[in-house]
Amino acid sequence: MANTNPPVVVAQEIGQIGRNFLREVGSVFWFIANMFEEALERVQHGRVPFHAASFFRHTERAGVDSVPLVGLVSFFLGLTMALLTGYQLQRFGTERLIPGLVAIAFTRELGPLITGIMLAARIGAAFTAELGTMQVSEEVEAIEAMGIGPLRFLVAPRMLALFLLMPCLSTVSNLAAIFASSLVCKAYFSIAFPYFLDLVKDSLLIRDIITGILKSFLFGLLISAIACYRGLTVKGGAAGVGTSTTSSVVTAITVVIGFDTLYNIVYIVFFPT
Amino acid sequence: MVELRDVHMQFEEKKVLDGFSLKVEPQERLVIMGQSGSGKSTVLRLILGILRPASGSIFFKQFEITRLQRRKLQRVRQHMGMVYQYSALLSSHNVRDNVALPLEELTDKSRTEIDKIVDEKLDLVGMKDTKDLLPEELSGGMRKRIALARALVLEPELLLLDEPSAGLDPVIASVIDELIINLSEKSKVTSITVTHEMDSAFRIGTRMAMLYQGKIIEEAETEKFKQSKNPVVAQFLSGSTEGPILEGSLDAITKK
């Protein structure tokens, strides 16, 4: 008979959630490992794992088509950040710190994070819905039945596209935000463009740029893996596609923010200077 | 060519196959009949190695499908062609790319050679003029024919057909059936068709098998099968509501 003691029930629920979480993490890990295995097998046989056309189609959709959104949102954020911090810093006569503050905040943290969240919503949802629809209409099974590895054929080009495009889009985000803050600095705090650029160059470290780029690669990998995994494990027809798409976006955004925090902790603890 | 020995299969609590055994000889056109949800499509997926049975063995030629590693299984699948109930054409690819897909992915043929084979197969199914169309622009019957061309493009030894004429009007259904017969005779392909469409089954099959409660309860040459004394087969063929198939469930339906 099931135990009805409230603390036991709560503990059981937590245990169940923990078990499901670990099962999901394990499944995504094996999903990525199997994709690499299938792709490498093809390379060993002297064949490309997927067609270049398929890869470029996804890079165009995930990358080029996302530039306006990423650029615009980052521009507004950069504008807001420069304005809000500027007025506070002005009280202490330190408004010349704005360029460095925005540049460091975006290259190191906000650029990859904002881009990750936007791509999880825009491209992650698209990948999950597309693969999920293929799954419920037996297209994925048909690919498998032909003797073609569905992971290397469907997942590898999407993952590689997002993996390579994320740092580029993060850079777009950084540049848009820095440009926006330069407009604010010029208009409200009388900081001319050449001086603004000097201040940015003085405050930015190579380490900040590398941190942001490494994070972007990681986020690209995580978002695409979660989106494709959710898409290929859809069950239950059209409703299942909807549920998986929502779950994919929520999971990817949570994982991106979680990994960002973890990354910062590890980076600050192990590489303090 | 294909043999299933004492195969058991269940999805969660539901037992689908319960000691299923079947042998298919080369160049035979076997039709497996059975009620909806009786596990007919599951049998095809087991032969392809997409599903794994709980127990039992499945052989295709000298290969034991149930024991093959993924890499070897993918190679074996290239000797089989599958036509799905709803065609399962890739919706983002046009007809040419759908048919060419196995050739582009699994062979070293040049684009010219691939185009030649695609033209040949599309011609075979009477769909040469649809090369640039997307699946959404095709009717159900046309999609089935394209799916058939795709299944045949690697010259398979075994053709698996899941409800090939389901959802089609009687004329198009007959066209598809004739096409299957002609193609299997011309290319000397062994085929396994699962269907509950009686007319289609008797047209296509050289041998019939009846799947009931997870087992093959009757198998015979087409003419012999029609005369079967088995009460389940007799009821299924006549479409009568009286008999062992609906025993119990008919009472429940009428009581409602």
Q: Where are the domains of chain A?
A: 26-270
Query: Distance, in angstroms, between B255 CA and closest chain A CA?
Result: 31
- Asked whether B192 and B161 are in contact (CB, 8 A), the reply is yes
Find the residue in A nearest to B75 (Cα): A147
Q: Do residue B76 and residue A147 have CB atoms under 8 angstroms apart?
A: yes
**A49 in B contact zone (CB under 8 Å):** no
Q: Does pLDDT of B74 surpass 60?
A: yes
* C-alpha to C-alpha distance for B196 and B32, rounded to whole angstroms: 8
Decide if A148 and B104 are in contact by the 8 Å CB cutoff: no
Closest CA to A123 of A171, A151, A164: A164
CATH of domain B1-79+190-256: 3.40.50.300
- Flag whether residue B250 sits within 8 Å of chain A, measured between CB atoms: no
* B155: nearest CA partner in chain A: A146
Contact B86 A148 (CB under 8 A): no
Beta strand pairing call for B55-60 and B2-11: antiparallel
Task: Decide if B60 touches A, using CB distance below 8 A.
Answer: no
- Angle at which helix A111-119 crosses helix A156-189, to 10 degrees, equals 130
Q: What would the pLDDT profile of A176-231 be if each residue is shown by its tens digit?
A: 999 999 999 999 999 999 999 999 999 988 888 998 999 999 999 999 999 999 99
**What are the tens digits of pLDDT across the range B10-62?**
988 888 999 999 999 998 999 999 888 888 999 999 999 999 999 999 999 98
Q: B74 to chain A, minimum CA–CA distance in Å?
A: 4
User: What percent of chain A has a predicted confidence (pLDDT) above 90?
Assistant: 68
Contact between A138 and B86 using a beta-carbon 8 Å cutoff? yes
Side by side, the strands of the sheet bearing B55-60 are B14-24, B2-11, B55-60, B63-64
Q: Does B80 contact chain A (CB < 8 Å)?
A: yes
What's residue B84's pLDDT?
93
Strands of the sheet with B215-221, listed across from one edge? B80-83, B158-162, B190-195, B29-34, B207-212, B215-221
Residue B46 and residue A114 in contact, taking contact as beta carbons nearer than 8 Å: no
Handedness of CA B64, B68, B70, B74 (dihedral sign): negative
Q: Which residue has the higher pLDDT, B252 or B190?
A: B190
Averaged confidence pLDDT in chain B? 88
- Could you tell me how far CA B74 lies from the centroid of its own chain? 19
Contact call for A141 and B88, based on CB within 8 A: yes
Contact between A148 and A41 under an 8 Å Cβ cutoff? The reply is no
* Alpha helix ranges (H) inside chain B: 40-48, 70-77, 95-106, 111-124, 140-152, 170-187, 198-204, 222-226, 231-238, 249-255
Measured between CB atoms, does A143 come within 8 Å of chain B? yes
The CA distance from A256 to B109, in Å, is 43
Q: What are the DSSP calls for A210-235, one per residue?
A: HHHHHHHHHHHHHHHHHHHHHHHT--
Rounded Cα gap, residues A20 and B28, in angstroms: 47
Quick one: pLDDT band at residue A2, thresholds 50, 70, 90?
low
Nearest of A168, A161, A159 to residue A70 by alpha carbon: A168
Q: Is a pLDDT exceeding 70 seen at residue B250?
A: no
Backbone dihedral region of B162: left (phi > 0), alpha (psi from -120 to 50 degrees) or beta? beta
A177 token code pair: 């935000």
pLDDT at A208: 87
What pLDDT does B256 receive? Answer: 44
Specify the pairing of strand B55-60 against strand B190-195: unpaired
Query: What DSSP character marks residue B138?
Result: S
Distance from CA of A216 to the nearest CA of B (A): 29
Token pair recorded at residue B23: 């042998």
The answer to whether residues B180 and B161 touch, using CB atoms and an 8 Å cutoff, is yes
Contact criterion met (CB below 8 Å) for A189 and A102: no
pLDDT for B253 equals 47
- Quote the pLDDT of residue A71: 95
Q: What is the DSSP letter of A128?
A: H
- pLDDT at A138 (0 to 100): 93
Instruction: Name the pTM for this structure.
Output: 0.88
CA B51 to chain centre: 15
The mean pLDDT of chain A is 91
pLDDT at B65: 92
**Which of B45, B48, B71 comes nearest A41 by C-beta?**
B71
- The yes/no answer to whether this complex scores an ipTM above 0.95 is no
Give the separation between CA A252 and CA A223, rounded to whole angstroms.
5
CB contacts, 8 Å: A57 with chain B: none
Residue B240 has pLDDT above 90, yes or no: no
For the residues A121-126, what does the mean pLDDT come to? 94
What is residue A110's predicted lDDT score, i.e. its pLDDT? Answer: 93
Q: Would you call B189 an interface residue with chain A, using a CB distance cutoff of 8 Å?
A: no
Chosen for mutation from B42, B45, B90, B94 (greatest number of chain A CBs closer than 10 Å) is B90
pLDDT in tens, A37-81: 888 988 888 888 888 888 999 999 888 899 999 999 999 999 999
Cβ–Cβ gap A142/B106 under 8 Å: no
Q: What is the mean pLDDT of residues A241-245?
A: 94
From the list A228, A212, A227, A226, the residue with the least C-alpha distance to A260 is: A212
Closest-CA residue of chain B to A154: B90
Measured distance CA(A108)–CA(A170) in Å, rounded: 10
Rounded CA separation B81/B86 (Å): 15
CA B20 – CA B190 distance, rounded (Å): 20
Contact at CB, A144 and B50, closer than 8 angstroms: yes
Counting residues of chain B whose pLDDT is more than 90, the rounded percentage is 50
- DSSP of B174-198: HHHHHHHHHHHHHHT-EEEEEE--H
Mean pLDDT of B139-162: 91
Please give the distance of CA A187 from its chain centroid, rounded to a whole number.
Answer: 33
Nearest to A138 among B78, B80, B88 (CB): B88
* B71 pLDDT tier (thresholds 50, 70, 90): confident
